[in-house]
């Protein structure tokens, strides 16, 4: 079933500031969300994740969400593979090898995979957060600056993996990275 994410007349206002007003948006495939800093991209993604309540308006068609948050949000005591396994349904053991292969392909060596997440570098944590989102069972992917802390070569690998895994899935990826936008070649939704 093809999901269609619909945002209707969405407004988010804080006491002293209005982030966005009367926002209408329909997303049917992978798209990049581009907006100036402070526009409220993270807040919009949080609303779509169900973590924030909008001041007014509605969102529909989100379904199950796979997410990369602004922060990595990995369980610090678990290693990268265990963090991915955490979001998998029962029988996670059967995917362990595949997940490890993904990490190896993504530039994390066996030594890094043995470390708890708290000992990984910023870029390694970001890769783990991204793979967790890709492995989770989801109808919509919401990715907030997923390339933060990655060098250009790793970003290219991440972009390639995203294109390969997402297909025509509904994806909203917030980024300021022009290179990443070009690399992905997805529809760009410019806001603000």
Partner 1 sequence: MKKTKKRLLYGAAVVFWLVVWQLAAMAIGQEVFLVSPIQALGTLLELLPQPEFWQRIGFSAGRILLGFLLGAVSSVVLAVAAERWAWVEALLSPVMQLVKATPVASFIILALVWVSGSSLSILISFFMVLPVLYGAVRTGIESADGQLLEMARVFRLPLPCRVKAIWLPAVLPAFRQGCSVALGICWKSGVAAEVIGLPDGSIGDALYRAKITLSTGELFAWTFVIIVLSAAFEKLFLALLDKAVARAAGEEW
* Among residues 24, 56, 58, 73, the one that binds partner 1 under rule CB under 8 A: 73
Number of Cβ within a 10 Å radius of residue 16? 5
Q: Tell me: does residue 49 bind partner 1 (CB under 8 A).
A: yes
CB of 38 to partner 1, least distance (A): 21
d(CA 142, CA 30) in angstroms, rounded, equals: 10
Binding piece for partner 1, criterion CB under 8 A, among 6-14, 78-86, 153-161, 176-184: 78-86
Please give the backbone phi and psi of residue 55, each rounded to the nearest 5 degrees, phi first. Answer: -65, -40
Bridge partners for 170 per DSSP: 140
CB of 14 to partner 1, least distance (A): 19
Contact assessment for residue 141 and residue 66, using Cβ atoms and an 8 Å cutoff = yes
For the window 121-140, what string marks contact with partner 1 as x by the rule CB under 8 A? Answer: -----------x---x----
Say whether 97 sits in a helix, a strand or coil.
Answer: helix
Number of Cβ within a 10 Å radius of residue 136? 17
Number of residues that bind partner 1 (CB under 8 A): 20
| Residue closer to partner 1, measured from CB, 36 or 50 | 50
Binding piece for partner 1, criterion CB under 8 A, among 47-55, 96-104, 148-156, 164-172: 47-55
d(CA 31, CA 34) in angstroms, rounded, equals: 9
Residues of this chain that interact with partner 1 (CB under 8 A) are 49-51, 64-67, 69, 71, 73, 75, 77-79, 82, 86-87, 116, 132, 136
């Amino acid at each position: 079933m093809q999901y269609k994410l619909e945002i209707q007349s969405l407004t988010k206002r804080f006491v002293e500031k209005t982030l966005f007003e009367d926002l209408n948006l329909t997303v049917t495939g992978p798209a990049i969300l581009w907006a100036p800093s402070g526009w409220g991209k993270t807040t919009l993604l949080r609303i779509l994740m169900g973590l924030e309540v909008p001041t007014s308006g509605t969102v529909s068609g989100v379904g199950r969400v796979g997410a990369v948050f602004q922060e990595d949000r990995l369980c610090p005591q678990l290693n990268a593979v265990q963090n991915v396994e955490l979001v998998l349904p029962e029988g996670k053991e059967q995917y362990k090898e595949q997940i490890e292969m993904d990490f190896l392909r993504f530039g994390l060596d066996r030594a890094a995979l043995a470390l708890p997440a708290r000992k990984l570098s910023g870029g390694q944590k970001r890769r783990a957060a991204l793979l967790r989102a890709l492995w989770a069972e989801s109808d919509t992917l919401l990715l907030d600056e997923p390339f933060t802390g990655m060098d250009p070569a790793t970003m290219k690998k991440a972009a390639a993996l995203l294109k390969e895994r997402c297909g025509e899935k509904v994806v909203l990826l917030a980024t300021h990275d022009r290179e990443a936008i070009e690399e992905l070649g997805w529809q760009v939704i410019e806001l603000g």
